């Protein structure tokens, strides 16, 4: 975030606009709507500004710009077509530690004027930081369509009802749940019909409703890293959560989508390092659910694909805790797609197997003869520490040593790397490129397509080392 967003109360505060043309007039109109005292300085003024002057709606300063025009001002807007003059205004404002906006010049500006969707008292402001103002306007146009005008009436009604709501629901969590019930109620229908009295009665009825807070847990799949792959239902769950218990591999970009005041607790586990045992995770879910909170157990990938989601649901069911599951895009699907590797292909693979290589004990339980069969794709999770063993066992049980592989590190993120080669060179290539977890291993003929179908991030690595190994 390169700009700190804020909304300024300019009522009865003086704001200087330097310029007397159409751009200046637009800025003055917006300032007057916000209740500011507009001071306008220029050598000449368009009729619109002269009319405002005659009506004593604005103060006009005639002549060439002087720095004393800034006296007693809170903000400054330079709205002339003279770049040198705009620069002088910005410099004078900076010397006085005043914020200045130079129209269409982000470099000279210390604040930006956003595109606005006005549903007063609710205001939505959109800014590109001056980088792409047309894009900000494009977003505003779409929000104008999406945001019903009754939202403003709702905001005013909630402002009046806020003391009663706070008195009825002292606990923050209970108050949030009440607002959610209210915003899903018939209040909207009354407001759209311009019936404020009906909306008021609806809120008063809701305030009389008594219900004990009941905690719940949502197991949510966060996907492999790209926040754009989080499902809409997962996003809603994050915005409803009081507590988020998240894995280590859930990226910061995904957590940024959650409600700001939610309690975040990292409960990640990785090979050899356990921030929280599974029993401790169970205890945390039980503690917060019994306190009436809504918990999101946020897992990388999908909760039911090597995510121990089944164990957690069994625990919740045994303790009579309400739960739901929000599937996520599992790593095999996302990493393969972002690497250009189709997991199945009519010419190469008619089936796909998901395998975990989390530890040696799990490797010992696998049917290696079946895994080594041809015309199938293996998607192997958590295998970075076992690559040598995986390579040896597959070849020993009949998989061709020249079978292609694709090793995808940090799949779907800006740090994605794809290493390709033959199964015989797997361990050597991984060592050469210093592959680290998290990484997904794909073994099968489809992996060769990564070299031609790759579309995301850098081109696959490994061809040079593969040639040397051959």
Please pick, among 269, 302, 360, 367, the residue that the annotation labels catalytic: 269
d(C-alpha 198, C-alpha 295), whole Å: 34
**Sequence-ordered list of residues with C-beta below 8 angstroms from that of 365, at least 6 positions apart, any chain:** none
> Which segments of 147-184 does DSSP mark as H helices, in order?
150-168, 172-183
d(C-alpha 78, C-alpha 18), whole Å: 5
Is 105 among the catalytic positions?
A: no
The label of the residue with tokens 């809170």 reads 74
Contact 462, 408 (CB under 8 A): no
User: What is the rounded radius of gyration, in angstroms, for the C-alpha atoms of the chain?
Assistant: 30
Contact 394, 441 (CB under 8 A): no
Nearest to 42 by CA among 66, 23, 18: 18
**Sequence-ordered list of residues with C-beta below 8 angstroms from that of 230, at least 6 positions apart, any chain:** 222, 223, 238, 254, 257, 328
d(C-alpha 356, C-alpha 366), whole Å: 9
Sign of the CA dihedral running 3, 82, 37, 155: negative
Strand pairing category for 14-18 and 37-42: parallel
Contact 140, 163 (CB under 8 A): no
Q: Which two tokens stand for residue 151?
A: 């939202």
Please pick, among 92, 226, 242, 247, the residue that the annotation labels catalytic: 247
The label of the residue with tokens 């005043």 reads 98
Contact 420, 404 (CB under 8 A): yes
Q: What secondary structure letter does DSSP report for 462?
A: -
Contact 240, 313 (CB under 8 A): no
Contact 298, 244 (CB under 8 A): yes
Is 247 among the catalytic positions?
A: yes
Q: Which two tokens stand for residue 247?
A: 């894995």
Catalytic residue positions, numbered: 247, 269
């Amino acid at each position: 975030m390169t700009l700190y967003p804020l909304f300024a109360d300019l009522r009865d505060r003086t704001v200087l606009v330097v310029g007397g043309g159409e751009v200046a007039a637009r800025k003055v109109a917006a300032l007057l709507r916000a209740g500011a005292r507009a001071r306008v300085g220029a050598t000449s003024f368009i009729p619109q500004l002269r009319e405002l002057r005659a009506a004593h709606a604005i103060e006009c300063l005639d002549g060439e710009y002087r720095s004393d025009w800034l006296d007693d001002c809170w903000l400054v807007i330079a709205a002339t077509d003279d770049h040198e003059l705009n620069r002088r205004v910005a410099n004078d404002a900076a010397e006085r530690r005043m914020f200045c906006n130079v129209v269409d010049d982000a470099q000279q500006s210390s604040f930006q004027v956003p595109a606005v969707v006005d549903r007063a008292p609710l205001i939505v402001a959109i800014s590109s930081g001056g980088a792409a103002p047309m894009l900000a306007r494009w977003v505003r146009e779409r929000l104008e369509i999406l945001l019903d005008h009754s939202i403003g009436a709702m905001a005013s009604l909630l402002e009046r009802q806020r003391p009663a709501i706070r008195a009825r629901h002292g606990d923050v969590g209970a108050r949030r749940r009440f607002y959610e019930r209210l915003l899903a109620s018939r209040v909207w229908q009354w407001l759209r019909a311009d019936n404020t009295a009906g909306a008021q009665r609806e809120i008063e009825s809701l305030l009389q409703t008594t219900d004990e807070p009941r905690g719940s847990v949502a197991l949510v799949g966060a996907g492999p890293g790209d926040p754009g792959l989080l499902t809409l239902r997962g996003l809603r769950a994050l915005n409803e959560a009081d507590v988020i218990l998240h894995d280590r591999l859930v990226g910061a970009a995904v957590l940024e989508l959650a409600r700001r005041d939610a309690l975040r607790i990292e409960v990640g586990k990785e090979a050899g390092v356990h921030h929280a045992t599974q029993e401790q995770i169970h205890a945390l879910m039980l503690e917060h659910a019994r306190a009436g909170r809504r918990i999101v157990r946020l897992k990388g990938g999908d909760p039911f694909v090597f995510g121990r989601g089944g164990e957690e649901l069994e625990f919740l069911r045994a303790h009579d805790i309400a739960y739901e599951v929000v599937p996520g895009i599992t790593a095999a699907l996302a990493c393969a797609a972002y690497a250009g590797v189709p997991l199945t292909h009519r010419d190469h693979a008619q089936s796909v197997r998901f395998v975990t290589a989390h530890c040696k004990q799990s490797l010992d339980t696998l049917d290696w003869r079946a895994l080594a069969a041809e015309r199938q794709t293996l998607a192997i999770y958590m295998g970075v520490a076992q690559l040598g063993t995986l390579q040896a066992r597959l070849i020993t049980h009949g998989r061709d040593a020249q079978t292609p592989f694709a090793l995808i590190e940090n799949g779907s993120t800006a740090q994605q790397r794809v290493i390709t080669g033959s199964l015989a060179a797997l361990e050597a290539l991984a060592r050469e490129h210093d592959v680290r977890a998290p990484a997904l291993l794909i073994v099968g003929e489809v992996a060769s397509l990564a070299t031609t179908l790759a579309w995301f991030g850098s081109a696959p690595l490994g061809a040079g080392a593969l040639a040397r190994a051959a």
